[in-house]
Homo-oligomer: A and B are copies of this chain.
């Protein structure tokens, strides 16, 4: 009897599309302090309840005047006004950028267009009504929609909201991501002693959880589950309150690999076996509108899975439509090859615009990930790239 191997190999783009189309993001939201809203997503349009500016203001340092008092003023024939505290015919009031316009004034003469002798101000230029005045509501009017639902909140947005008196805000709830490490070989950390031969410290959930946090989700860590289909199924069922489920390990087709079957018995496996290297044994599924991503136990393969499947799923769940920065371009320092039919992730170090491929003897070689600044992604229909070619590098965050 021949042993089974993963024969199916879904294309990366198809696999990702299947996954992303298999669920709709939850609409649930929460009210939080504006001060805590950096990186969150607005769940409702924000309508201004204040004008900006909320008063007529000077837009320049200078003197508030009645524009009619400046008619035909010029350098050669300045008009003299008296600086006072209130505007009347022939007087002016010193203002600073942002000062309230004094009653009766309707324009500002810039300080550079004046000279003074005591409280007598020579005005060297004529100003029209409204010159250098910021009128109430000129920037934002009461009732204006200042930000749309779905807006990703950056510090500059938050400052704007604060400036119109907003102190609490309604945002989408952070997606909760259950992270379930599986494998008889795993030992829980922190472990002070080196695990016995055949056992290793479980670290994939830590890596996954940190990326989940970075990408706007909330990790919900589970204990290590042994390679037992019933136990794996029970833990999955206990996590159906989450918005996404990540399983680490047990995704291949060995005797101890029960994860995809366990998912399929509760929900549905969409894809098992994907044309990516490392990461071929990845399985993707869905249970009651919850995306389920079964990551291989090899850390380097898990990392590819995180970037290619977990990140876009999390963005969709969190309603984040952030603009992705483009990949970096670099000159390939040495020829790299890949297998046709697999999107291949070659780890590279960047140095002076060169992408230097790192020697790796397998997907498990984690130290090469730490030395890597990014991946050169070789598309599935490409055999590799030559030394000297300009390639795109996806930075490893």
Contacts and interface: CB of A to CB of B under 8 A. Distances in A.
Interface string A52-75: 111111010100000000000000
Given A115-B2, A156-B207, A370-B156, A162 B140 contact: no
Contacts of A50: 194
A396 interface: yes
Interface residues of A, number: 94
B134 A100 contact: no
Contact of A156 (B160, B163, B364, B396): B396
B3 A112 contact: yes
A53 B329 CA distance: 34
Given A156-B396, A203-B162, A254 B299 contact: no
A211 B362 CA distance: 39
A231 interface: no
A158 B207 contact: yes
Contacts of A201: 162-163, 165
B185 A98 contact: yes
A38 interface: yes
Nearest to A62: B3
A21 interface: no
A197 B54 CA distance: 7
Interface string A188-208: 011110111110110110111
A222 to B, nearest CB: 16
A254 B61 contact: yes
A361 interface: yes
B2 A323 contact: no
A28 interface: no
A147 interface: yes
B189 A365 contact: no
B370 A96 contact: no
B185 A165 contact: no
Interface of A: 1-3, 5, 34-35, 38, 50, 52-57, 59, 61, 94, 96-100, 111-112, 114-117, 134, 138-140, 144, 146-147, 151, 154-160, 162-163, 165, 167, 185, 189-192, 194-198, 200-201, 203-204, 206-208, 210-211, 213-214, 252, 254-256, 297, 299, 303, 323, 325-326, 328-329, 350, 361-362, 364-367, 369-370, 373-374, 395-397
